[in-house]
Structure 1
Amino acid sequence: MSSHHIVRENQEPALIVESVADLDAEYIGQLLEWNPTVFTNDYTIDFFLADDIKVDIVVTNQGNLYVQEQIKKIPVQRGFIADAIQYLIDNNYKAVNIICDEIPDTVFSFCKEINIVLFIAGKRYVFIEGKYEKWKQKGEQLFVREDLLKSLVGVKKVARNTFMTEQDGFIHLAFNTTEFVCIGEEI
Structure 2
Amino acid sequence: MSSHHIVRENQEPAMIVASYDALDEEHMGQLLEWSPTVIANDDTIDFFLAADIKVDAVFSTKEETYQQEQIKNLPIQQEFLPDALNYLIRNNHKAVNIVCNALDEVLEAYCTLINIVVLSHGRRYVYVRHRYEKWKEVGARVFVSESRLKSLVGLKRISSHEFLTEQDGFIYLEFNTNEYVCIGEEI
TM-score range, shorter chain: over 0.9
Work out the percentage of aligned pairs sharing the same amino acid. Answer: 59
Query: C-alpha offsets along residues 110-137 of structure 1, whole Å, 9 cap, x if unaligned?
Result: 1011100000110000000000011111
- Which residue of structure 2 lines up, in the alignment, with residue 60 of structure 1? 60
Q: Which amino acid aligns with 2:14?
A: A
Contact preservation (8 Å) 2:101, 2:120: yes
State the Cα distance separating 1:72 from its structure 2 match: 0.3
State the Cα distance separating 1:22 from its structure 2 match: 2.0
Equivalent residue of 1:21, what SS? helix
State the Cα distance separating 1:69 from its structure 2 match: 1.1
TM-score (norm 2): 0.98
For 1:57-136, list aligned pairs within 5 A: 57-136=57-136
Query: C-alpha offsets along residues 159-187 of structure 1, whole Å, 9 cap, x if unaligned?
Result: 11100000111111011111000000100
User: Hey, what's the Cα distance between the residues in 2 that align with 1:114 and 1:22?
Assistant: 22
- Which residue of structure 2 lines up, in the alignment, with residue 181 of structure 1? 181
- Which residue of structure 1 lines up, in the alignment, with residue 163 of structure 2? 163
TM-score (norm 1): 0.98
Of 112-121 and 22-31, deviating more is 22-31
Equivalent residue of 2:20, what SS? coil
CA RMSD for the aligned pairs? 0.7
Contact preservation (8 Å) 2:58, 2:73: yes
Query: C-alpha offsets along residues 101-158 of structure 1, whole Å, 9 cap, x if unaligned?
Result: 1111111011011100000110000000000011111110000111111111110000
Unmatched runs of 5 consecutive residues or more in structure 2: none
Equivalent residue of 1:68, what SS? coil
Q: Which runs of 4+ in 1 moved over 6 A?
A: none
Paired residues, what number?
187
Equivalent residue of 2:2, what SS? coil
- Which residue of structure 1 lines up, in the alignment, with residue 146 of structure 2? 146
Query: C-alpha offsets along residues 64-92 of structure 1, whole Å, 9 cap, x if unaligned?
Result: 21111110022211211111111111111
